[in-house]
Amino acid sequence: NAGVTQTPKFQVLKTGQSMTLQCAQDMNHEYMSWYRQDPGMGLRLIHYSVGAGITDQGEVPNGYNVSRSTTEDFPLRLLSAAPSQTSVYFCASSYKGGEWFSGNTIYFGEGSWLTVV
Amino acid sequence: KQEVTQIPAALSVPEGENLVLNCSFTDSAIYNLQWFRQDPGKGLTSLLLIQSSQREQTSGRLNASLDKSSGRSTLYIAASQPGDSATYLCAVYSGGYQKVTFGTGTKLQVIP
């Protein structure tokens, strides 16, 4: 059981470049989300999805796009990378949406370290 | 806006010591609180989940308590081991898809 798989683990981008962070889960989870983790700020929600074809914005969505064409995959796209997007990105999933956090274990990927120069 | 604070930011203890990690939140209207462990270069692993109606949860050497009225939770680790060295984060869920707020974590080092 692979759980939540993120790729790449490390990436260096130049300002203005675009890229996609991949996230896949094999647990048939409805709910998937992307967080960024910055020193002293905790994890902040970027985008989330409650099922295939359904996505919505979190706390810090600017500069990022997502799509959910399948239950398994939830890629995060950086449209035009900026140094402020240097961060560690985590994908997470949970069994169901709605009260997803209530009693449902959340599974996190191992993170993607992104540096924008 | 919910704010979650974890103090201290870092803690170093000798092996075998019992210790308490603190988590405080500003809005007591929460559904539940969850404690996570994060190892360097890794994602977060859920340790304990406490529903708003519960006072505590236990798993092995870990015990988490919740006092909603005072906006506080503690994670108690008994007989600490070097393998417990990690960053511990708490997160509160206030309802809806977005309303999960994470603390910034306490980095624990257990010295052999």
State pLDDT tens for residues A63-104: 999 999 999 999 999 999 999 999 999 999 988 654 445 556
Distances in Å between the Cα of B86 and the Cα atoms of A36, B36, B83, B108 are 19, 10, 8, 5
The answer, yes or no, to whether residue B1 has pLDDT greater than 60, is yes
Question: What is the mean pLDDT of the segment spanning A96-117?
Answer: 76
Report the residue of chain A nearest B95, measured CA to CA: A99
Q: What is the mean pLDDT of residues B49-58?
A: 91
Looking at the partner chain, which of B4, B43, B93 has a beta carbon nearest the beta carbon of A101?
A: B93
Query: How near does any CA of chain B get to the CA of A112, in Å?
Result: 9
Q: Which of B11, B2, B1, B29 is nearest to B80 (CA)?
A: B11
* Chain A residues touching residue B97 (CB < 8 angstroms): 31, 48, 50, 56, 97, 100
Does the structure show a pLDDT above 70 at A53?
Answer: yes
What's the rounded mean pLDDT across residues A20-44? 92
Structure token digits, residue B48: 């304990």
Instruction: Report chain B residues whose CB lies below 8 A from the CB of A105.
Output: 46, 49
Check CB contact under 8 Å for B32 and A56.
no
The pLDDT value given to residue B43: 87
Amino acid at B9: A
**Which range (A46-50, A97-101, B61-65) has the least confidence?**
A97-101
pLDDT computed for residue A89 by the predictor: 97
Residue B6 has pLDDT above 90, yes or no: yes
| Per-residue pLDDT band at B66 (split at 50, 70, 90) | very high
Do the strands A76-78 and A64-66 form a parallel or antiparallel pair, or are they unpaired?
A: antiparallel
When pLDDT is averaged across residues B2-25 and rounded to a whole number, the result is 96
CB crowding B60-89: b at 16 or more within 10 Å, else e: eebbbbbebeebebbbebeebeeebbbbbb
The pLDDT of residue A87 is 97
pLDDT for A39: 86
Highest mean predicted confidence (pLDDT) among A18-22, A35-39, A108-112: A18-22
